[in-house]
Amino acid sequence: MLYIKALHIIFVVTWFSGLFYIVRLFIYHTEAEQRSEPEKSILQSQFQLMEKRLWYGITWPSAVLTMIFGIWLITKMGLWSAPYMHLKLTFVFFLYLYHFSCQHIYNKLKQNNVKYSPTQLRIWNEVATLFLVAIVFIIVVKSMNWIYGLIGLVLFAVMLMLTIRIYKRLRTKNKD
C-alpha cells in the first residue's frame, strides 16, 4: 500500500509541476505576441514546441496516473465514505476541470489564437496554487473546522491576488 501511496504522491507532484509550468509557458507565448517579426514567430514556435512536450509528455500522463493511483489507494484503504475524502474529491474534480480549461487554452495558442492577457494568465496560474493548498490541508488535517479552512483559503487567495497586483505595478514601473 505504501508503494501505491508513494506513486500517487509522485504523480500529483509531477501533475502540479506540469500545470504550473504550462500556464507559465502560456504567459510567455502570449507576451511574444507583442514582439515584432521575426522574433514573434520564432518565440511562438519555440513555445508551442515546449508546450506540446510538457503537456503530452508530463502533464497529461501525470493527471491520468494520479487518478489511477488515487482511486486504487482510496479503494484499498476503504476511504470512499470518509467525509474529508468527499471534500478532497470535490476539489480534485474542480482541479480536473482546471486541467481541461488549460487544454482549451493550449489548443487556442497552438493556432496562435491569443485570447488572454499575460495578467489574466498570471491570475489563472494561481488557481492551481489554491487547489494545491486546499487539497493538501484537507488530506493532512482531515478533521478541520471547515469555516476556518474556508476563511484561510479566501485569505490566501486575496494574498495571491495582491502579490500579482504588486508584481504588475513593479513590472510597469521598471518598463518606464
> How many distinct structural domains can be found in the chain?
1
Output the tens digit of pLDDT for each of the chain's 176 residues.
899 999 999 999 999 999 999 999 999 999 998 899 999 999 999 999 999 999 999 999 999 999 999 999 999 999 999 988 998 999 999 999 999 999 999 999 998 888 899 989 999 999 999 999 989 988 888 876 777 777 887 888 888 888 888 877 887 777 65
- Amino acid letter at 134? A
Closest CA to 59 of 25, 20, 89, 88: 20
Could you tell me the pTM of the whole model? 0.86
CB atoms within 10 A of CB 152: 15
**Block residue for cell numbers 511574444:** 32
Q: Can you say whether the dihedral through the CA atoms of 92, 71, 20, 144 is positive or negative?
A: positive
88 is in an annotated binding site: yes
pLDDT of residue 41: 92
Query: Which residue range(s) make up the domain with 86?
Result: 2-175
Q: Give the total residue count for the chain.
A: 176
Q: Residue 61 — φ and ψ, nearest 5°?
A: -60, -40
Closest CA to 120 of 108, 110, 135, 105: 105
- Amino acid letter at 164? I
**Block residue for cell numbers 509557458:** 25
Closest CA to 157 of 145, 118, 165, 23: 165
164-175 burial, b if ≥16 CB within 10 A, otherwise e?
eeeeeeeeeeee
